[in-house]
Copies of this chain bind each other. A is one copy, B any other.
Amino acid sequence: MQVLFNGGFVPEEEAAVSIFDRGLCYGDGLFETLRVSHSRPFRWTEHLNRLAHGAKVLGIDLPYSAKELSAQAAEIIQRSALRQGLLRMMLSRGQGPRGYSPRGAKEPWLAMSVHPLPAATLRKPACWRLVLSSYRVQANDALACLKTCNKLHQVLARREAEDQGGDEALLLNTRGYVAEASSANLFWIEDGSVFTPPIGSGALEGITRGVVFEICSRLGIRCREHNCRVGHLKSAQGVFLTLSSLGIVEAGSLDGVALRRSAATQQIRVAYEQLLHL
């Protein structure tokens, strides 16, 4: 598979960076993973805006304009002949003098690649087993809501969950409230309303999370941000996860305790699939 690296198409095995790249040394970069549906990147503008916002917070100059990135995305999808799949973008601050200071690092780079859909997408609708993680995310952290390349807490939380036979990890924040799953935002249903932790909880500002707010508004379902303790999820009418690669995934259990299943989850999932295949 060819990847777009530094503005040109190269075979995947030639897309390589120095071991002194700051993305590698310090996770000093950002990424985006988008669903490609009918050869188009789903919610492209939202993902691009999040990348641009993150780049601003990190102080990394995006090496291409929004127009150029849009053209590059269209071209890599077209070249790959991918109708359904994933598009990945990665931005790194690139190389610079040794040490944390980003001064002198003036050559950021951006890569774009396409990937097949994860196997889980193809056998949907599945139901995930959640495992509460011992790792926490930081409440009120300016970086937590961005898709940065600092994802070790998520990596190790996922590892813990898988080691315990789970599909996904549930992370609390430093205040003890539910924040997110390792690679997904979390929602729960109560009294017919849909709830999700606020961004300040340490949750990523997921694009699919935003789509759920839109769908709920259209369906006349009340959807709002709320902090909750983990025990609360066990008595909720339903719990579901949102992630760009898989869309809406219902949570079937938490630490081995079966969660209730809600018709609203299916309603939102169907509406999401309709949007995706428009």
Please give the residue numbers on chain A whose beta carbons come within 8 Å of chain B beta carbons, in ascending order. Answer: 3, 5, 12-13, 15-29, 31, 57-59, 86, 88, 90, 92, 98-103, 111, 113, 115, 118, 134-136, 138-139, 141-143, 148-156, 158-159, 162, 174, 182-183
- CB contacts (< 8 Å) of A90 on chain B: these are 19, 24-25
- CB contacts (< 8 Å) of A118 on chain B: these are 98-99
**Secondary structure type dominating chain A contacts:** mixed
- CB contacts (< 8 Å) of A58 on chain B: these are 152, 156
- Contact check: which of B111, B150, B155 meets A102 at CB < 8 Å? B155
Chain B nearest CB from A208 CB (Å) reads 16
- CB contacts (< 8 Å) of A142 on chain B: these are 134-135
Chain B nearest CB from A102 CB (Å) reads 5
Can you name 4 extra interface pairs (CB under 8 A) apart from A17-B19, A28-B155, A102-B155? A12-B18, A24-B149, A100-B183, A101-B159
- CB contacts (< 8 Å) of A162 on chain B: these are 101, 103
Please determine whether B115 and A143 come into contact, CB atoms closer than 8 angstroms: no
- CB contacts (< 8 Å) of A3 on chain B: these are 19
Please determine whether A59 and B159 come into contact, CB atoms closer than 8 angstroms: yes
A142 vs B24: C-alpha distance when bound (angstroms)? 21
Highest count of chain B CB atoms <10 Å: which of A16, A24, A162 = A24
- CB contacts (< 8 Å) of A102 on chain B: these are 155, 158-159
A-B contact pairs, 28 of them (CB 8 A): A3-B19, A5-B19, A12-B20, A15-B19, A16-B16, A17-B24, A19-B90, A21-B24, A26-B27, A26-B149, A26-B150, A27-B27, A28-B151, A28-B155, A59-B159, A98-B118, A99-B183, A101-B158, A101-B159, A102-B158, A136-B138, A138-B138, A139-B174, A143-B153, A150-B150, A150-B151, A150-B153, A174-B174
- CB contacts (< 8 Å) of A12 on chain B: these are 18, 20
Please determine whether A26 and B138 come into contact, CB atoms closer than 8 angstroms: no
A245 vs B90: C-alpha distance when bound (angstroms)? 31
- CB contacts (< 8 Å) of A16 on chain B: these are 16-19
A271 vs B127: C-alpha distance when bound (angstroms)? 61
Q: Which chain B residue has the least Cβ–Cβ distance from A28?
A: B155
A183 vs B26: C-alpha distance when bound (angstroms)? 12
A146 vs B42: C-alpha distance when bound (angstroms)? 38
A25 vs B115: C-alpha distance when bound (angstroms)? 15
A148 vs B113: C-alpha distance when bound (angstroms)? 26
